[in-house]
Amino acid sequence: MCYHLACRSEKDEMKEENGKTKKALAAVIAANVIWGFSFMATSVALKHISVPALLSMRFTGSFLIMLAVMICGRAKVSIKGKPVGLFLLMGLCEPVIYFIAESYGVKHTTSSFSGLTLSLIPITTAVLSAVILGEHLSAKKLLWITCSVAGVALISVSQTSEGTIEAKGVFYLLISMVAASFFSILSRHVSGSFTSFERTFIMMLMGCAAFTALALVREGPSFGRICAAALSQREVLLPLLFLSAVCSVFAFFCLNYGMTYLEVSRAVVFTNITPVVSVIAGTALLGEPFSAVCAAGMVLILTGLFMVNRIRD
């Protein structure tokens, strides 16, 4: 009797664990699909407003949404007795350092080189998570992660762009790559102490503060007028709402939720979904060219994703 009860309890636990894993996978996939559409929204908005102003308005809007959820009593943030230092470091890595470094990296290199460099994030994250968190990284899993990265590389080099590659641009991209890797590791590390909402909240708060300060330095006293003028334009307001509510609040919440239940090396490889969605969206909605090389890149990405999640270490 006791044996049967123990077996049933173990089966229930396994079923519950599998359910959480499936939800986490769905959350991470949803986040990266959403970010695939963010490039179009950002591109449209940047035709009317500067990068610092857009980032400031985006994360201020995101922070206000999170604050409204707290005021309505739907969630709360508590830091008492928790590892606040690592919590703040996570928010500093992303969005603050990552977004700033990525923006200047793209500015001083080319879009194809930037895409190629940032596609290495899953590999650097997987290696660092094995070293820092002690996660097991098999040779097979690393091979299929590399396959997915190769797909992103193909898509990046197929979308050639004019411009020069400056040393400082490479430096900024390396910083953004390291920041993204450490964000994933830290989000996973503090997931036992901070909820997905708390981790997303600190990210929006730090993004709001840092990017608003940056915008004030860049725009000066005219920043308020620039924001008011931008918000009166539909071409800025609609992309801004999408970037704030969907790409920042919802997508980062999904990512932090996924990091709670998935190994970092398994979760981070889904970042390669983003360029796939971006290419499909650009082709379908903006009439951008689609080549056989892009198709080959997509096949490599999706094959790598499938095999990484099939492997059980």
Would you list the domain boundaries of the chain? Answer: 24-310
Q: Which pLDDT does position 47 carry in this prediction?
A: 84
Q: Which pLDDT does position 2 carry in this prediction?
A: 52
Instruction: Write the DSSP assignment of 133-179 as a string of letters.
Output: T-----HHHHHHHHHHHHHHHHHHHHS-------HHHHHHHHHHHHH
**Do 176 and 105 form a contact (C-beta atoms < 8 A)?**
yes
Amino acid at 54: L
Query: Which class for 297: exposed (0-12), middle (13-18), buried (19 or more C-beta within 10 A)?
Result: buried
Nearest Cα to Cα of residue 28 among 281, 292, 264, 214 = 264
Nearest Cα to Cα of residue 226 among 104, 53, 32, 96 = 53
Task: Return all residues near 280 (Cβ < 8 A) that are at least 6 apart.
Answer: 36
* DSSP element (H, E) containing 91: helix 84-91
Q: Encoding tokens for residue 212?
A: 């608003």
Q: Which pLDDT does position 278 carry in this prediction?
A: 81
Q: Encoding tokens for residue 261?
A: 């239940």
- Taking each helix axis from N to C terminus, what angle separates 196-219 and 51-71, rounded to the nearest 10 degrees? 140
List the chain pLDDT tens, one digit each, 313 residues. 555 545 556 666 667 678 889 999 999 999 999 998 887 888 888 888 888 999 999 999 999 999 999 999 999 999 988 999 999 999 999 999 999 898 888 778 766 677 777 778 888 898 899 889 988 888 888 899 999 888 888 887 776 655 677 888 889 989 999 999 999 999 999 999 999 999 999 999 999 999 999 999 988 889 999 899 988 999 899 999 999 999 999 999 999 999 999 999 889 889 888 888 888 887 787 677 778 888 888 899 889 888 887 776 5
- Distance, in Å, from the CA atom of 256 to the CA atom of 125, rounded to the nearest integer, reads 15
Q: Encoding tokens for residue 239?
A: 């992309």
